[in-house]
Amino acid sequence: MVCMKILLYLSEFIIPLLVFYIVGFGLLHKNKVYEDFIDGAKDGLKTVVSILPTLIGLMVGVRVLRESGLLEAIGGIIGKVTEPIGLPSALVPVIIVRLFSSSAATGLCLDIFRLYGADSYAGFMVSIMMSCTETVFYTMSVYFMAAKVTKTRWTLAGALMASFAGIAASVVITVLR
């Protein structure tokens, strides 16, 4: 209990200490800290402007899929295969959307909580699934565009395999609980 209080106390000071350390380190090395900060902010703003079309496209695409009912239809079809192995068809749209958008997947997750309950089989599984999968296409498009990466090699295959492993783990953990 004492250790937890110490950690809570220290956590309040870590960020301010880190900021003072960085500024102090820059001043000791005779860097123009404020000018460096402004240059970094300008570069960050340029990056945001360059990836904005990609972000808007992803958000609009996910919203169209969700509102059209296509995700639920796909979930029903794929659910016939996944239900016997323990993956409810209601979670298939979450899996698909999670590859593109975390916030849209969170919205679907909240819908599952509302329909089935957070402590239900589906609620428990979707909670685990959300924590051990990644927004593969969003992450790749945003970071590769920002870094101007053109040869992605095996990134997509590796990311999809990792997401599949996270989904499989969520099914196994939920079934064994």
Reported as a single tens digit per residue, the pLDDT across 147-177 is: 888 888 899 999 999 999 999 999 999 999 8
Rg (CA), the chain: 21
Instruction: Reply yes or no on whether the pLDDT at 59 is more than 80.
Output: no
pLDDT band, very low/low/confident/very high, at 50 (cuts 50, 70, 90): confident
The single residue listed with the structure tokens 């902010």 is 41
Alpha-carbon distance of 166 to 125, in angstroms, equals: 11
Q: From the centroid of its chain, how far is CA 163? A: 11
Q: Give the HSE-up count for residue 127: Cα atoms under 13 Å, Cβ half-sphere.
A: 12
Residue 154: closest CA among 142, 168, 136: 136
Torsion on CA atoms 92, 95, 96, 97, rounded to nearest 10: 120
Q: Enter the tokens of residue 111.
A: 């819908």
Q: What is the pLDDT of residue 139?
A: 85
Q: How confident is the model at residue 123 (pLDDT cuts 50, 70, 90)?
A: very high
The answer to whether 120 and 130 have CB atoms below 8 angstroms apart is no
